[in-house]
Amino acid sequence: MSAKDPIVLVEALTHSNVQAFLDTLRYCEGTPDEDGYRRMFGGKLFDSFDKHPGEKRTATFKGGLTVTSTAAGAYQYLLQTWTGVATQYGFTDFSPKNQDLGAVGLILGRKALDDVIAGRFEEAVRKCNKEWASLPGSPYGQPVKTMAQIRKVYEAHGGTFAPDVPAAATSVLDLINPAALAADTITPTQKEEPMAPFIAAVLPALVDLVPKLGKLFSSGSEVAERNIKAAELVVSVAKEAIGARNEQELLETIKADPQAAADVRTAIESQWFRIEEVGGGIAGAREANAVYLQPGAAGFWLNPAFWVSVGFLLMVVLILLDMLFFNRAVYDASLRTQIITAILSLLGMVSAYWLGTSFSSQRKTEIAAGTGKSV
């Protein structure tokens, strides 16, 4: 695919509101000085503009939040972000001019360039706060500037506001953050903590890799707590699969490295029973299948879960027979250990399922008879 003509970026860069918005971004990212074009995440300067330095660096923020990132330059481009925009517009180096043009390209990609030019400042910020983690309302959990602060910077650099945008000293975005907003939308029956911003930010990428994850994270107050716990488990499994130190590194890696994405997908699939149990899948199945064990119910042999369990047990028997008698020489000690571990895990899950179903049925019987407490 041929690169796009950057002329639209060059033309936009001549507009005073665009220049002011870029200056505001640099203020937010901590790169407003001349050396800002050479600054890497954490503050160290790189030497050459020939290419993005691509160096992973770690910084610790107030509150103990530790982040590892490849961000560099005046707009703190992640390596894969710069690679994408440079390929899109044919940039051959990481020069200050191309960094400015690339930032305009990212604004355009967020469909915010018209807002910037027209002076719809807060609307532009809302569209760009997923691109720059320091903007108000960003979901990534890093320290952010307030809308009041950046309005002043924007205006000081010659930026103008659309007539219908009030120049209020404080915006509603100053008063809320993603976690508070999530907590405020929880229904009265929910008292759980909202999902951590870093986990919420990386989760859509994992759902893209394993689409069936989406079923676990559908809305509904009755599953909110399980959804949060399942999300934490999914992200933990993904980080462990590729050795990512945090959620941001996980997100960068799976977007830039197809093999890492495949490893994450395989790891999530291999832990699906654990994830589904935490997310309510098995618990929900228990609830549905417990009716087959109620007094006067149809025979248990009509329960689909019964036949699934029988199938699992038959499979276990066949594997054991093959390993112990028919093809014993094929299985070395390491493979036998892995198979036995898998079988024990499978038997444990089947046992836990039926114990849980029996308990659920018993509780329903007690409640119906007035001998148990309804919760």
CATH of the domain at 50: 1.10.530.10
Tell me: do 159 and 232 sit in the same domain.
no
Bridge partners (DSSP) of residue 67 are 59
The model's pTM is: 0.49
Q: Mark which of 175, 194, 212 sits at the end of a domain.
A: 175
Question: Does 131 lie in the same domain as 61?
Answer: yes
Q: Is 29 a catalytic residue?
A: yes
How many structural domains does the chain have? Answer: 3
Select from 313, 340, 270, 317 the least CA-distant residue to 332.
340
Q: Is residue 213 part of a domain?
A: yes
Q: Are residues 16 and 120 in the same domain?
A: yes
Query: Based on the domain organization, do 240 and 120 belong to the same domain?
Result: no
Same domain, residue pair 267 and 312:
no
188 and 164 fall within a common domain = no
Same domain, 60 and 162: yes
Which stretches of the chain are DSSP H helices? 7-12, 16-29, 79-89, 96-109, 113-118, 121-128, 147-156, 172-175, 178-184, 197-209, 224-242, 247-256, 258-270, 272-279, 281-289, 304-321, 333-369
Is 1 a member of any domain?
no
CA 138 from centroid of its chain's CA atoms: 13
- The confidence score (pLDDT) of residue 120 equals 95
In the block, tokens 């549905």 appear at 288
Supply the pLDDT for residue 358.
47
**In DSSP terms, which residues pair with 72 in a beta bridge?**
40, 77
**DSSP label of 243:** T
Q: Are residues 35 and 155 in the same domain?
A: yes
Same domain, yes or no: 168 and 198:
no
Contact 173, 147 (CB under 8 A): yes
pLDDT at residue number 185: 38
pLDDT at 299: 56
Answer for the pair 194, 242: CB distance below 8 angstroms, yes or no: no
In this structure, is residue 285 part of a structural domain?
Answer: no
Q: Which of 29, 122, 247, 277 is catalytic?
A: 29
pLDDT for 66: 80
Phi, psi of 39 (to 5 degrees): -90, 135
Specify the pLDDT at position 369.
Answer: 45
Do both 142 and 257 map to the same domain? no
Question: Which residues form the domain of 236?
Answer: 184-279
Q: What are the structure tokens assigned to 251, written together?
A: 């997100």
Residue 14 lies in a domain: yes
Tens of pLDDT, residue by residue, the chain (375 residues): 456 888 999 999 999 999 999 999 999 999 999 999 999 998 999 999 999 999 999 887 666 778 888 999 999 999 999 999 999 999 999 999 999 999 999 999 999 999 999 999 999 999 999 899 899 988 777 788 999 999 999 999 999 999 854 444 444 344 334 443 343 333 333 344 455 556 666 677 777 787 777 666 654 434 444 566 777 778 888 888 888 777 777 888 888 888 888 888 888 887 766 666 554 544 545 554 554 555 555 555 555 666 666 776 787 788 778 777 777 777 777 677 767 777 776 676 666 555 544 444 444 444 344 444 333
